[in-house]
């Protein structure tokens, strides 16, 4: 199982953060189906203050460029992503328009 971790920030506004949380209690089914059809078997988003962490799992080695291309061809996903930009802001070091930034694994501990 492959694990992918991404970071993104939210705009520092409590009302917008509450709205973002509310949207994620009812993600559009077409968006969820698009995520699953890309090869992602599960994903979770955690929030601390205005910092988001997304953890995705896949049995596949994900091709994120291909996923992004497919998402751009999926009208409902594009609509969802455009709506979410109201709440989101890129983390420092991101290129203009860049959203979720993949984390680099630097330590792993596994028991026997």
Task: For 22-53, write each residue's pLDDT tens digit.
Answer: 999 999 999 999 999 999 999 999 999 999 99
CA distance 20 to 75: 20
The topology (CATH level 3) of 2-102 is Alpha-Beta Plaits (3.30.70)
CA distance 62 to 17: 29
Q: Are 40 and 57 in contact (CB under 8 A)?
A: yes
CA distance 95 to 3: 24
**Per-residue confidence (pLDDT) for residue 57, from 0 to 100:** 98
Q: What one-character DSSP code corresponds to residue 88?
A: E
Residue % of the chain over a pLDDT of 90: 90
Domain ranges of the chain: 2-102
């Amino acid at each position: 199982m492959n694990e992918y971790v991404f970071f993104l920030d939210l705009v520092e506004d409590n009302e917008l953060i509450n709205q973002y949380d509310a949207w994620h209690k009812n993600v559009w089914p077409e968006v969820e189906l698009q995520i699953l059809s890309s090869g992602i078997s599960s994903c979770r988003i955690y929030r601390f203050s205005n910092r988001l962490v997304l953890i995705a799992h896949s049995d596949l080695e994900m091709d994120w460029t291909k996923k992004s291309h497919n998402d751009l061809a999926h009208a409902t996903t594009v609509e969802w992503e455009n709506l979410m930009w109201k709440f989101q802001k890129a983390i420092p070091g991101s290129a203009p328009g860049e959203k979720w930034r993949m984390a680099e694994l630097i330590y792993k501990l596994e028991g026997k």
